[in-house]
Structure 1
Amino acid sequence: MQGTRKVTDDIVWVGCNDRRLALFENLFPIPRGVSYNSYLIMDEKVTLMDTVDESATSQFMENLEYVLDGRTIDYLVVQHMEPDHCANIEELMKRYPDMQVVANTKTVQMIHQFFDVASDGRVVLVKEGDTLSTGTHTLRFIMAPMVHWPEVMVSYDEKDKILFSADAFGTFGALDGNIFNDEIDFERDWLADARRYYSNIVGKYGAQVQNLLKKAAELDVKMICPLHGPVWRSNIEFFVEKYDKWSKYEPEENSVVIIYGSIYGHTEAAVNSLACRMADAGIKGIKIYDASAVHVSELISEMFRSSHIVLACATYNGGIYPPIENLLSDMKALSVQKRTVALMDNGTWAPAAGRMIAKKLEELKDITVLEQLSIKSVLKEDRADELEAFAQKIVEDVLP
């Protein structure tokens, strides 16, 4: 049984959902699943925009056959070669022997790396600014290298003013029939997953995203059709503004995320006391996370949201408590930058984590270490004034 929806009169969403997959890229938890979006343009020449993951091939082929209703596919536009979007290229080339693959040079190279297919006479090579007429629609191709693979391109439909945006403007989460942003409460139900998707998958490539945003700003975009998550047909500027902030590494909120590594609960207790003092002083949106219990992708996402970060860490075997050490590696790999960090460390005989964390933070761009508070075993009442001063220093920096 097919599951499709019309995007416009002659463009149909033929994508699929995967609610069984536990880890996206075998790395990121996706408790709400993920969608693989694909779009069929039913013009004089039938054009398919990307395919789906191998796990959804059966449903995908049913969707295609239902919408095609006996027609063939003339063009397959391949915007991105990650297997969750390209898995069905070989199968489609076999099913539709006259189908042409529309791709750039890097994409064709990757097609041959993934599949044993003969591409002679089957490929329409395109480059920046090239167009393809499908009848009433004209697709203009825009190269978007490293958003987030080197071969990525996006496509602009000049007729309906749609940007087929590849992995840009994507989000985790399966689509529950409501595929459009104005059919859901995006800010309430989807924004956190969109931020986590961006910060962990695309976040390293802020400069490249900025290049794409500048190209897109020259277009009259009325709709955005990404490869994951909702289709945007209203209030597009809301999501574009988020991408602009994230790719400039500007925080969404003046707030604090506190991430701690605590062995027996004493560091956690100090963090709770700190949070209460900051809340009393008027800071809103404070979030506290246990680095041992929360997936690192959530922690990175919260760092993209917040202007200030508190890292509270026990000393472990003379070094940094491993979950916090792993977090620091991810912060570097994903280019967390332009943030202010306050440090708490704890140790019974040799508190050293704070000094070591500060040293690692020097490897990141535009990170300001605001203050450091060291604890020996337990933060006792006789050090309440020190905790108050530590909290006040953060408050004065967060609140305008």
Structure 2
Amino acid sequence: MKEIIKNIYYVGVNDRNKTLFEGLWPLPNGVSYNAYLINDEKVCLIDTVEVDFFIPFLENIREVIGDRPIDYVVVNHMEPDHSGSLALLRQFYPNIQIVGNKKTFDMMAGFYKLTDGLHEVKNGDALSLGNHELQFVLTPMVHWPETMMTLCKSGECRVESVELATAHSNAEDATILFSGDAFGCFGALNGAFIDEQMNCDTFWLEMVRYYSNIVGKYGTPVQMALKKLAGVKVDYICSTHGPVWHENVEKVIGIYDQLSRYEAEPGLVICYGTMYGNTERAAEVIARSAAEAGVKNIVMYNVSKTHHSYIIRDLFRYKGLIVGAPTYNTGLYHEMNVLLDELSQKDIKGRLFGWFGSYSWASKAVSEIQKWNDERLHYDAVGTPVEIKQALNSETIAQCEALGRAMAEALKK
């Protein structure tokens, strides 16, 4: 039985077999689908899990409430990894009321043909379960239009263990935020489910990768959501992926605040495409020059080898980006085209940008990269682009070194 605080339980599941989240993002450590149960005069479930995991999910619920009926299920987010069990849940609990907003129900009718037994809420509405009161905060486009969060306040929210009581001395007044996908991260939960009971080191970069690839485009809506929550002292954040945050609540909110404002450290991402190693050698020269000029945070990626989600993650972390690729079929190397298209969809702001390219007989890569920046990326251009014919020579080596120094100087400013 996984009790977070008195009468509030974790009933989620782990998926250790899926290799790509949403068919796109690698899951080297799996992922959790988190759901929560409030056992009060009225029983309330907060979110569900992906339908393939319905049986263990149901077992988790029954471990807490036995044969008691569930009165409400709150749907904070309609993505099927969280709403996928709704239709089956209704079969086991036919009188359950589904709580959501108008946009939730529009999607629910399309996904699951569920159109009755609905309890519609608007921003700021409340629902009493007895000792627990739920308040609903609509957070559209974090990261779907129907998304919302649910605050739970109660004098019943008492901590049951000495360890947790020490960590939070005023636990009887605890406020829990059921945040949907916000504040979530990749990675299954290995036994423990509250942050203070585990080593969280593996989750921090996976939180950034999760945010940058899934939520990252919607920085302004995230900022609006944070402003709605600004006056609330949150003691626990219960996301739909990753740990329950308690010790690290301030850190987690700070990460989302920083990422959604597109703030970045003075570091450099260098990514390149290469067929026979010439463009890669140029990238090495640029990296060495930038390091000698004082840039300590430098990461390098071959766009054909590293999944782009990690490159996008690091562009949210670091302010500088230099890309390079060969000309291919009188255009730009395919994987670089794909990466630049992905970056253009993220609306990342305030980045410094340099580029280089190579060709054997027809120059195109450098002009194509510049076109991407002029028309779609709109990053601040740094230094002089380097164009390499066939292989590096003393002149183009010097130009690569100059590009690395120029980026270093720009980052220092």
Do both share a fold (TM > 0.5)? yes
Partner of 2:212: 199
Q: 2:402 aligns with which of 379, 389, 394?
A: 389
- Taking the aligned partners of 1:387 and 1:99, their CA distance within structure 2 comes to 65
- Secondary structure (helix, strand or coil) at the match of 1:363 reads helix
Deviations 1:33-62 (A, max 9, x none): 110000001111111000000121111011
Partner of 2:5: 8
Partner of 1:211: 224
Alignment check: 8 A CA contact 1:16 1:52 kept = yes
Q: In structure 2, do the counterparts of structure 1 residues 398 and 212 end up closer, same or farther at CA, with 3 Å as the change threshold?
A: same
Partner of 1:310: 322
Instruction: Tell me if 1:128 matches 2:140.
Output: no
Alignment check: 8 A CA contact 1:139 1:156 kept = yes
* Deviation at residue 382 of structure 1 after TM alignment: 4.8
Partner of 2:164: none
Deviations 1:240-281 (A, max 9, x none): 111111111121x11001000111111111111221222222
Q: 1:52 aligns with which of 49, 53, 56?
A: 49
- Taking the aligned partners of 1:364 and 1:277, their CA distance within structure 2 comes to 28
Q: 1:105 aligns with which of 70, 87, 102?
A: 102
Instruction: Report the TM-score when normalising by structure 1.
Output: 0.95
* Deviation at residue 184 of structure 1 after TM alignment: 3.4
* Deviation at residue 365 of structure 1 after TM alignment: 5.6
Counterpart amino acid of 2:83?
C
* Deviation at residue 117 of structure 1 after TM alignment: 3.5
Deviations 1:348-379 (A, max 9, x none): 22332111111111234651111211111211
* Deviation at residue 387 of structure 1 after TM alignment: 2.7
Counterpart amino acid of 1:201?
I
239-248 or 75-84: bigger deviation? 239-248
Alignment check: 8 A CA contact 1:338 1:365 kept = no
Q: What stretches of structure 1 of length at least 5 have no aligned partner?
A: none
- Taking the aligned partners of 1:343 and 1:392, their CA distance within structure 2 comes to 13
Alignment check: 8 A CA contact 1:358 1:369 kept = no
Instruction: Tell me if 1:331 matches 2:326.
Output: no
Q: In structure 2, do the counterparts of structure 1 residues 107 and 300 end up closer, same or farther at CA, with 3 Å as the change threshold?
A: same
Alignment check: 8 A CA contact 1:332 1:363 kept = no
- Taking the aligned partners of 1:314 and 1:366, their CA distance within structure 2 comes to 22
User: What is the identity percentage for the equivalent residue pairs of Structure 1 and Structure 2?
Assistant: 41
Alignment check: 8 A CA contact 2:70 2:96 kept = yes
- Taking the aligned partners of 2:51 and 2:6, their CA distance within structure 1 comes to 28
384-393 or 188-197: bigger deviation? 384-393
215-224 or 386-395: bigger deviation? 386-395
Partner of 2:366: 354
- Secondary structure (helix, strand or coil) at the match of 2:242 reads coil
- Taking the aligned partners of 1:387 and 1:360, their CA distance within structure 2 comes to 20
376-385 or 106-115: bigger deviation? 376-385
Instruction: Tell me if 1:297 matches 2:309.
Output: yes
- Secondary structure (helix, strand or coil) at the match of 2:382 reads strand
Instruction: Tell me if 1:247 matches 2:260.
Output: yes
- Taking the aligned partners of 2:49 and 2:310, their CA distance within structure 1 comes to 26
- Taking the aligned partners of 1:129 and 1:68, their CA distance within structure 2 comes to 29
Alignment check: 8 A CA contact 2:11 2:36 kept = yes
* Deviation at residue 388 of structure 1 after TM alignment: 2.5
- Taking the aligned partners of 2:127 and 2:55, their CA distance within structure 1 comes to 29
- Taking the aligned partners of 2:400 and 2:183, their CA distance within structure 1 comes to 41
Aligned residues: 393
- Secondary structure (helix, strand or coil) at the match of 1:48 reads strand
Partner of 1:162: 176
- Taking the aligned partners of 2:95 and 2:296, their CA distance within structure 1 comes to 59
- Secondary structure (helix, strand or coil) at the match of 1:323 reads helix
Instruction: Tell me if 1:363 matches 2:375.
Output: yes
Deviations 1:325-361 (A, max 9, x none): 0011111112122100111111122332111111111
- Structure 1 residue runs of 4 or more that deviate by more than 4 Å after TM superposition: none
Counterpart amino acid of 1:259?
C
* Deviation at residue 7 of structure 1 after TM alignment: 1.0
Indicate the RMSD between aligned Cα atoms, in angstroms: 1.4
- Secondary structure (helix, strand or coil) at the match of 2:245 reads coil
Counterpart amino acid of 1:150?
P
* Deviation at residue 140 of structure 1 after TM alignment: 0.4
Partner of 2:93: 96
342-351 or 124-133: bigger deviation? 342-351
* Deviation at residue 70 of structure 1 after TM alignment: 2.2
Partner of 1:145: 140
- Taking the aligned partners of 2:306 and 2:195, their CA distance within structure 1 comes to 28
Q: What stretches of structure 2 of length at least 5 have no aligned partner?
A: 155-173
- Taking the aligned partners of 1:185 and 1:210, their CA distance within structure 2 comes to 29
Alignment check: 8 A CA contact 1:307 1:398 kept = yes
Counterpart amino acid of 2:40?
D
Deviations 1:63-119 (A, max 9, x none): 111111221111111111111001111111121122211111111121111123351
Instruction: Tell me if 1:256 matches 2:271.
Output: no
Deviations 1:156-179 (A, max 9, x none): 112231111001001111111121
* Deviation at residue 316 of structure 1 after TM alignment: 1.0
Alignment check: 8 A CA contact 1:336 1:364 kept = no
